[in-house]
Each structure stands twice: as C-alpha cells, then as structure tokens.
C-alpha cells in the first residue's frame, strides 16, 4: 500500500507541484498553515529521515535549499520555518519523509519551534556530558 505522497509522485492524485527532479518533488500542502506552505519529499518512499540513503539525503537537502528562497519570495514572506516531523510521536502523519517549508510573517504570532515545548528542561552537567558522548560515538 503506497503512501498518499507516492500517489502524488505517480500522478495518481492531483497536487500543485512546484518543482521536480529525478529523485525529489515539491508540492503545496493541501492544508496550508500559511500561503505557500510547501512539502519537499524524496520520490522513493522512506518513512523516517533515518531511513533515507546518503545520496537521496543530499538531493533532498539540495531541493529544500532551492525551494526555501523560491517559496519565501513568491509570497513575500519575512522568513520561514523549515521542519520535519520525524516519526509518529513527533506528529508525523504521512509515513513518507517530507520537509515542511512554512512561510512566516512578522505578524503571524506562531512563535519559534521552541513554543511546542513547555520550557527548557533542567539537565545537569554530568548528564549533558554523557548525552554528548553518546551522540558523538554514533555520529
């Protein structure tokens, strides 16, 4: 069973496609959070960022890099929030990696991504050192 985004790639359902190359495609979000809200996806189906092969990840970033100024300029945005909901617990509803480019305006009142969390978590220095070591050893 292919994802709804694969159906867009295959042309089986309509979308407002704004860019396409061999490995990636970008189209307007059907439920925009702001005018110009765009999704960038790899054409092949990968559920999470962790699943995307290195070469496709490079292509995906290149398309995001290309689309951010195009989107901002097209709707005269002041800035943009660029984000992946990476996994169901992080709010990912469509199990096909996608990058949201959401144009931002001075008056939109949406705040930074930090606003999703109640506030800063209190983590002591020893634990921070431990976490940094764990990440470094896997990077």
The only residue of 15, 40, 60, 67 in contact with ligand AMP, by rule CB under 6 A: 15
Q: Long-range contacts made by residues 73-76, C-beta under 8 angstroms, separation at least 24?
A: 74/36, 75/34, 75/35, 75/36, 75/103
How many residues touch ligand AMP under the rule CB under 6 A: the total is 13
98 among known catalytic residues:
yes
- 3 state DSSP class of 10: coil
Give the phi and the psi of residue 74 in degrees, each rounded to 5.
Answer: -65, -30
Q: Largest alpha-carbon pair distance within the chain?
A: 53
Residue ranges of alpha helices (H) inside 10-124 are: 54-74
Q: Identify residues 49-68 at the interface with ligand AMP (CB under 6 A).
A: none
Q: Identify residues 66-95 at the interface with ligand AMP (CB under 6 A).
A: 85, 91-94
Per CB under 6 A, the segment of 25-33, 53-61, 115-123, 124-132 that binds ligand AMP is 25-33
Per CB under 6 A, the segment of 23-31, 102-110, 112-120, 131-139 that binds ligand AMP is 23-31
Residues annotated as part of the active site: 98
């Amino acid at each position: 069973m292919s994802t709804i985004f694969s159906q867009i790639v295959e042309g089986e359902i309509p979308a407002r496609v704004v860019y396409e190359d061999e490995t990636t495609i970008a189209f307007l979000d059907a439920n925009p959070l702001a005018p110009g809200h765009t999704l960038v996806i790899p054409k092949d189906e990968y559920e999470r960022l962790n699943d995307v092969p290195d070469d496709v990840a490079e292509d995906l970033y290149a398309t995001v890099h290309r689309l951010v100024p195009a989107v901002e300029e097209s709707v005269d945005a002041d800035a943009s929030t660029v984000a992946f909901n990476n996994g169901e617990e992080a709010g990912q509803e469509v199990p096909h990696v996608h990058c949201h480019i959401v144009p931002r305006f001075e008056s939109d009142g949406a705040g930074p991504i930090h606003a999703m969390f109640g506030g800063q978590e209190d983590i002591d220095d020893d634990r921070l050192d431990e976490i940094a070591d764990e990440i470094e050893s896997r990077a």
